Chains A and B, each alone.
Chain A
Amino acid sequence: MDFGLIIRNALRAAFGDFAAVYALAAIGLNMHFGYTGLLNFGQAAFLALGAYGIGVTVTYLGLSLWVGIAVGIAAAVLFALLLGIPTLRLRADYLAIVTIAASEIVRFLVRSVTLSDYTGGSFGLSNFADQFYALNPLDGTQYGIGPIQYTGRQTWVLLVAWSLVALMTLLTYTLMHSPWGRVLKSIREDEDAARSLGKNVFVYKMQSLVLGGVIGALGGFMLAISIQSVQPDTYSTAITFFAYAILILGGTARVFGPVIGSMLFWSLLSLTDNVLRQAVNAGYIPPSILDGTQIGQVRLMLVGLGIMLLMIFRPQGIFGDREEIALDAR
C-alpha cells in the first residue's frame, strides 16, 4: 500500500474545493443552528439557488457572470423570506419540516421537464464560468507546497473559495462578538426571555436565516464555478446533512468549527476511500467482503461511525466547550 499517496490525497482533500464549498455551507448553518437555534434542514436549496442563479443567468439569459451572482444572492434572500415569514413565528420544529420539504421542491423544480429550457432539466447547465477563469492571474501550470499540488486553474478557484471562507469566518467572528450576536444567542437559549427584554425576535431570526442562506449561496457559486456545471441531483439533502456532520464535527457555535470540520470531514472521506481502495486492490480485503464498487458507500459508513464515536467521547466537537454543551438549554 502506498501510504504516501494516501496521505497526499487526504491533504489535497482537506484544502480542496469541496472542503471550501462545504465550509461555506456549514458557516451558514452555524449562523442558523449554532447561534440562533434555527433548525434549517434545507441548506442544499440555498446552494442550489446560488448555483442556478449564475447558471441560468449566463446560459439562458446570456448575461454576465457577475449579474448571475447578484441574481443568486437575490434568490437566496427571497427564498429565506419565503421560508421564514410563515414559520419563524412558530415553534422551531416547523422550520425544520418546511425547509427540508422546500429544498426538495427546489431540486424537483430545476430538474423538471417543464423548466428544462431554462435549467437544463436533469442534465443541468454547463460552461457558464468562463468569465471567472478569464480573470485568473496565475499563468503557471502547477502550484502548491511540497506534496500538495494543484493546477493553475484549480489554484485560482481555491484561492477565491478559501478567501470567501476566511471573509465569512471573519464576518461571523465580528457579528458574534457584537450586541447583535448576543441577541441571536439569547434567542437560541429562550426566545420568550429575549422578547421580555424588548428584542424583536422575529426580525432577528429572519436576519439570521437570510444571512446564513446567502453564505450558503456563496458555497453554491463556488461549487458551480469549480466544476463549470450545475446538476440538480448534486443539490440533494445529502449536502445539508454533510454540512450538519461538518458543523457537529467542528463544534457548533464556534467560529472556526465549520472550517476545520469541513477540512477534517473531506480528508477523512478521502483517507477511508484510499485506504479501502488500496486494500482491496492489494488483496488484503477479499472481494467476497468488499469489492471496488462498494467502497463509495462503505467509506460513508466508516465516517458515520467516526462521527458517532466523536459524539460519544467528545460531544462538543473539536472546538466546543464540554461544560457549555452539558448545560441544559433551558
Chain B
Amino acid sequence: MPDNTATSTLDGIAHEPGVAKPDAVLVADSVVRRFGGLKAVDVEHAEFQRGAITALIGPNGAGKTTFFNLLTGFDQADSGSWTYDGKKLSGVPAHKVARRGVVRTFQLTKALSRLTVMENMKLGATGQSGESFLRALVPPLWKRQEKAIEARAEDLLERFKLDKKRDDFAGTLSGGQRKLLEMARALMVEPRIVMLDEPMAGVNPALTQSLLGHVKDLRAEGMTVLFVEHDMDVVRDISDWVIVMAQGRIIAEGTHEAIGRNQAVIDAYLGAHHDAPLTEAEERQQLEEADAQLAAEAQQEHAKP
C-alpha cells in the first residue's frame, strides 16, 4: 500500500477520465497529435496531482510515450494546450521545459556512453556559468560552482549506489545501472516533476525493488512523479493514481484497485467479449450472418457492369 498522504487527498475523487484533481500541477486540454491518418494522441482533458505518483498505462501503441514527448517539448502537438503550475507549457522547447523543472527520462536509456558517470551527473546541473562559451575560457569564474555541483553529484551517486563507478565511462555500466544513472542525473536538474518512461523496462527484479524505493523517495521529497509502465506489479506497488490510455485517448482513471475492475480497461487490454463464451446457437447464428453478408457482397459484385 502506498504509504503517504497523496492517496488520501485523492480519496474522494470520481473514477472517470479527465476528472479534476484538488491540487493539479499539470493540466492538459484537447491535446491532439496525428501521424498521417492516425490520431496517436487525442486527450480531451487530463490533470496530474501535485506530489503524487501517477502511472500512465495502456496497451502498446496507446500513445503514452507520444503524450510524454508532447508534454516535455520533444514533439509538437497538432493542437491543444497544457499548463504547468498555471503557466503555459505548450509550445515551450524541450530544453526550457527541463529548466522549468519538468524533467524526463527515456524508454531507451540515454546514458552518455563516452562521458564518465561523474560527467554525466555534472551535466545535469542547470544554471552553470561555465556553460557559457566566454566564461568557460576563464576557469576561476566557474571552478567554485563546479565544486558545489560535484559535491551534490557525489551525494546523489552515493544514494543511488553508483559512487564506486564515478570515474568509469557510463557506457561500461549494466542496463540497470544506466537506469539508475539516468534517474540520478535527472535529479541533478532539481526537478519539480519527474517523468519516467518505462523506468523498470529490462531491469532485473532485485534492482526493480531498489528503483521503486528511489521513485517513492522522490514523492517523499515533494516531487510529482509521472511514469509509463507495463509491469502491473510495479504500478500496484507505487502509484497513487492510474491513468489508462488506449488508441490515444484516456479511457479510465482511478486508483489501481478500481482500474483492475474497470470494464473499459479490461476491454482495451484484452478486446471486448473476450470472456463471453458463445453457445452453440449463437455460434450458428453468427456463422449464418457472415454467410449472408458474403452472399450479399457476391451479388453486388455480379450486379456491377
In the complex, what's the smallest C-beta–C-beta distance from B272 to chain A, in angstroms?
A: 38
In the complex, A189→B112 CA distance in Å?
5
Instruction: Report chain B residues within 8 Å CB of A201.
Output: 95
Pair B142/A179 contact, Cβ less than 8 Å: yes
Say whether B185 faces chain A, with CB atoms less than 8 Å apart: yes
Say whether A198 faces chain B, with CB atoms less than 8 Å apart: yes
Do A195 and B94 contact each other (CB < 8 Å), given the known contacts A174-B139, A179-B136, A183-B123? yes
Instruction: Report chain A residues within 8 Å CB of B186.
Output: 196-197
B86-142: which have CB < 8 Å to A? Answer: 93-96, 98-99, 103-106, 108, 110, 112-115, 119, 122-124, 126, 128, 130-133, 136-137, 139, 142
In the complex, A198→B94 CA distance in Å?
7
Pair B136/A181 contact, Cβ less than 8 Å: yes
Instruction: Report chain A residues within 8 Å CB of B132.
Output: 180
Instruction: Report chain B residues within 8 Å CB of A200.
Output: 93, 95
In the complex, A185→B98 CA distance in Å?
19
Instruction: Report chain A residues within 8 Å CB of B108.
Output: 330
A190-228: which have CB < 8 Å to B? Answer: 190, 192-201, 207, 211
Pair A196/B137 contact, Cβ less than 8 Å: no
Q: Contact check: which of B74, B98, B106, B146 meets A198 at CB < 8 Å?
A: B98
Instruction: Report chain B residues within 8 Å CB of A197.
Output: 98, 103, 123-124, 126, 185-186, 188-189
Say whether B72 faces chain A, with CB atoms less than 8 Å apart: yes
Chain A at the B interface: mostly helix, strand, loop or mixed? helix
In the complex, A145→B145 CA distance in Å?
47
Instruction: Report chain B residues within 8 Å CB of A289.
Output: none
Say whether B80 faces chain A, with CB atoms less than 8 Å apart: no
Say whether A186 faces chain B, with CB atoms less than 8 Å apart: yes
Say whether A297 faces chain B, with CB atoms less than 8 Å apart: no
Say whether A328 faces chain B, with CB atoms less than 8 Å apart: yes
In the complex, what's the smallest C-beta–C-beta distance from B156 to chain A, in angstroms?
A: 14
In the complex, what's the smallest C-beta–C-beta distance from B124 to chain A, in angstroms?
A: 5
Say whether A300 faces chain B, with CB atoms less than 8 Å apart: no
Pair A178/B136 contact, Cβ less than 8 Å: yes
Pair A327/B113 contact, Cβ less than 8 Å: yes
In the complex, A330→B110 CA distance in Å?
7
Instruction: Give the one of A183, A188, A193, A199 with max B CB within 10 A.
Output: A193
In the complex, A328→B169 CA distance in Å?
11
Pair B172/A193 contact, Cβ less than 8 Å: no
Do A174 and B136 contact each other (CB < 8 Å), given the known contacts A197-B103, A198-B95, A199-B95? yes
In the complex, what's the smallest C-beta–C-beta distance from B16 to chain A, in angstroms?
A: 32
Say whether B175 faces chain A, with CB atoms less than 8 Å apart: no
Say whether B171 faces chain A, with CB atoms less than 8 Å apart: yes
In the complex, A107→B110 CA distance in Å?
40
In the complex, A189→B114 CA distance in Å?
7
B258-301: which have CB < 8 Å to A? Answer: none
In the complex, what's the smallest C-beta–C-beta distance from A31 to chain B, in angstroms?
A: 12
In the complex, A196→B126 CA distance in Å?
11
Q: Contact check: which of A171, A179, A192 meets B128 at CB < 8 Å?
A: A179
Instruction: Report chain A residues within 8 Å CB of B95.
Output: 195, 198-201
Do A196 and B103 contact each other (CB < 8 Å), given the known contacts A175-B137, A179-B130? yes
In the complex, what's the smallest C-beta–C-beta distance from A179 to chain B, in angstroms?
A: 4
Say whether A139 faces chain B, with CB atoms less than 8 Å apart: no
Do A196 and B113 contact each other (CB < 8 Å), given the known contacts A180-B131, A182-B123, A327-B169? no
A244-284: which have CB < 8 Å to B? Answer: 253
Say whether A2 faces chain B, with CB atoms less than 8 Å apart: no
Pair B98/A195 contact, Cβ less than 8 Å: yes
Pair B136/A180 contact, Cβ less than 8 Å: yes
List of 3 A-B pairs having minimum Cβ-Cβ separation, nearest first = A327-B171, A179-B130, A180-B136
Known A-B contacts: A189-B112, A329-B113. Give 11 more (CB < 8 A).
Answer: A178-B130, A180-B130, A180-B131, A180-B132, A182-B131, A189-B114, A192-B94, A197-B124, A197-B126, A197-B185, A201-B95
Q: List residues of chain B with CB under 8 Å of any chain A CB.
A: 72, 74, 93-96, 98-99, 103-106, 108, 110, 112-115, 119, 122-124, 126, 128, 130-133, 136-137, 139, 142, 146, 169, 171-172, 185-186, 188-189
Can you show 21 pairs from A to B with CB atoms below 8 A apart?
Answer: A174-B136, A179-B122, A181-B136, A183-B123, A185-B115, A186-B115, A189-B113, A189-B114, A190-B110, A192-B110, A193-B106, A195-B95, A196-B74, A196-B94, A196-B186, A197-B123, A198-B98, A198-B126, A199-B123, A207-B133, A330-B113
